[in-house]
Chains A and B, each alone.
Chain A
Amino acid sequence: MAARLKPGQGPLDYGSRLWLKILFAVVLLFLYAPIASLIAFSFNVDKTGVWHGFTFQNYIKAWHNDAIFNALSNSLAIAFCSTIFSTILGAMTALALWRFKFPFKTPFEGFLALPIVVPEICMGVALALFYSKTGMMTAVRDWIWPLNLINIIIAHIAFSFPFVAVVVRSRLVGFNRQLEEASKDLGASEWQTFTNVIVPFLMPSLIAGGLLAFTLSLDDFVITFFSSGPNSVTFPVKIYSMVKTTITPQINAASTVLIVITLLATFIAMKIQAPVKTEKS
């Protein structure tokens, strides 16, 4: 602890402390070096992990590698379907919790949080058991794409929609119910009020919640791993099996594509949420 202040600096200007800056830099290196090298080596000519030159070959190969391509398109299809349903379900649940008083409301809220707190692996094996005992695991096997992924989609909706509900509900806190009353007073029906007043107000949180559901779905490995049948491999599951056997730069290439997609979704979500913050302040 310096016994003297630096000219112009207060004792609480921790942001300018050298050791904190160094720690920050080291942690950022720890967080980003692996990802950066993963991306860098997706452009590597060689597969041994030693840099031999720049190429797009891995991307082209990954695109033509049926296993990787299918896994990636499965992941995106699942994320897409799960996002739509989770957003609708989450928004409805949030609206109900925001608008109504009903018996056992607090336990119900705790119950909704269960998929968030229960270890993923437990939910995964429970769903695996459920699907195999009810025959759903085998029943969907030969359905046409993407319906053969329905089990995974169902699982993803189950763990995503409570998150969406949380996001939408926090937006609803700022809603002025007099707007709703004004709309009804002016002769709008419940449904007209909903589509003309409430939905536009909720739009930023619906998009943010939807993008959250999208990234949660793309991110999930554990539950997918257990609830997927042998023919419905998602991208993370594919990487898992390949990591266990062989590592190829094609995986780096496909990973890079997925990273770019998720980061784009995240940035869009943040851009959309940002004005909400300034509105409140």
Chain B
Amino acid sequence: MDYWKDFRKVFFTLMTLGSFWMLLFFVVPMGFLFVLSFSSKAIVNGETSILDYNYFSTIANYVDAAGSSYLVLLGRAVLWSAIATIVCLLLAYPLAFAVCFSAPKWRPILLLLLILPFWINLLIRTYALIQVLRTNGFLNQALGFFHLPQTDILFGTSAVIMGLVYVYLPFMVLPLYSTIEKLDKSYLEASLDLGASQPRTFWSITLPLTMPGVITGIILVFIPCLGSFLTSDLLGGPNNWMIGNAIQNQFGEANNWPFGAALSFILMYATFFVLFVRAMLTRRSKGVDA
């Protein structure tokens, strides 16, 4: 590796544009948002202005955000994301396992089948799910065909969680697949050979050795779930808001951008907290990586 000072011209040519882009179109906007979260709408001529703010004037937005109704939205986001993450894990682990232990020529095809939907537009997938779940959607048509009772899960909690699982399942499959695939199968064979039953082998050997993949999968699903608003918006409706919906609302109809900015930062802090926990966990389990 070269030291940057020895090739200044090359170094700056390669670095400048990317750093500039990140600075101007990511850091600066985040800075704006940060400032705004501590601001209030300016009063001009006795009326609340639409466009002007008193910058760095207040922490009221955060105080308001801590108010119970918004904490409920954050708590709900955490809870539902956790449920969706667990469902994804419970589905993806056996699936990834099955793929890894199938015949080598089938492996790439089976894996592709599981992750292909990830490439299809989120909105199209959500729209497709709506068409299945709505009152006279395909699910109920199918149930009707078999003379089974109709369900009405669209615009309910279960629809939101189902939507989150539907959208983020591939994110869980991928890291699990790559750790299980790297796992030396002779560890499992050794465990069975030493007298451990299949479940015992799973708990004592397989799971601990694939933990890095499990943690990565949890992070990859939990974080986007936490900040999602589309799924809860379209599948859950107004009674099933998560924190993302509240942010969208403040930047849209409610038109209270400073408050929305504060909510955004609360969401970001929650996200960073999750990443911090992960960093702690991986540090602790260092050397366990198979």
Whether A27 contacts B244 by the Cβ 8 Å rule is: no
Q: How far is the CA of A72 from the CA of B257 in the complex (A)?
A: 30
User: B residues within 8 A CB of A121?
Assistant: 227-229, 244, 247-248, 264, 267
Whether A23 contacts B95 by the Cβ 8 Å rule is: yes
Q: Which of B93-121 contact A (CB under 8 A)?
A: 94-95, 97-99, 101-103, 106, 110, 112-114, 116-117, 119-121
Taken residue by residue from 34 to 61, chain A's Cβ proximity to chain B (1 for < 8 Å, 0 otherwise) reads as 1101100100000011100000000000
User: B residues within 8 A CB of A272?
Assistant: none
Whether A125 contacts B95 by the Cβ 8 Å rule is: no
Whether A219 contacts B25 by the Cβ 8 Å rule is: no
Whether B30 contacts A12 by the Cβ 8 Å rule is: no
User: A residues within 8 A CB of B244?
Assistant: 119, 121
Select the stretch in A62-70, A126-134, A202-210 that faces chain B.
A126-134
User: B residues within 8 A CB of A14?
Assistant: 97-98, 101
Whether A255 contacts B229 by the Cβ 8 Å rule is: no
Nearest chain A CB to B15 CB, angstrom units: 5
Nearest B residue (CB) for A17: B98
Q: Which of A183-204 contact B (CB under 8 A)?
A: 190
Whether A243 contacts B127 by the Cβ 8 Å rule is: yes
Does residue A179 face the partner (Cβ distance < 8 Å to B)? no
Nearest chain A CB to B5 CB, angstrom units: 8
Nearest B residue (CB) for A226: B251
The verdict on A13 contacting B251 (CB below 8 Å), with A96-B11, A101-B3 known, is no
Whether A100 contacts B223 by the Cβ 8 Å rule is: no
Query: Which of A20, A32, A118, A119 has the largest count of B CB atoms less than 10 A from its CB?
Result: A119
Whether A13 contacts B101 by the Cβ 8 Å rule is: yes
Nearest A residue (CB) for B33: A126
Whether A125 contacts B251 by the Cβ 8 Å rule is: yes
Whether A27 contacts B17 by the Cβ 8 Å rule is: no
Taken residue by residue from 253 to 277, chain A's Cβ proximity to chain B (1 for < 8 Å, 0 otherwise) reads as 0010011001101100010000000
Contact of B17 among A33, A92, A128, A165 (CB under 8 A): A92
Q: How far is the CA of A95 from the CA of B95 in the complex (A)?
A: 37
The verdict on A158 contacting B21 (CB below 8 Å), with A12-B189, A34-B132 known, is yes
Q: How far is the CA of A12 from the CA of B223 in the complex (A)?
A: 33
Whether B128 contacts A35 by the Cβ 8 Å rule is: yes
The verdict on A126 contacting B223 (CB below 8 Å), with A38-B128, A154-B25, A221-B121 known, is no
Whether B127 contacts A239 by the Cβ 8 Å rule is: yes
Nearest B residue (CB) for A270: B112
Query: Which of A48, A89, A130 has the largest count of B CB atoms less than 10 A from its CB?
Result: A130
Nearest A residue (CB) for B251: A125
Contact of A259 among B33, B106, B120, B129 (CB under 8 A): B120
Extra 15 A-B pairs, beta carbons < 8 Å, given A99-B2, A121-B229: A11-B189, A15-B102, A21-B98, A23-B94, A31-B114, A33-B132, A35-B117, A49-B136, A101-B3, A122-B30, A126-B33, A129-B32, A157-B25, A158-B26, A255-B128
Which 6 pairs across A and B sit closest by C-beta, in order of nearness? A119-B227, A15-B102, A130-B29, A96-B14, A34-B128, A126-B29
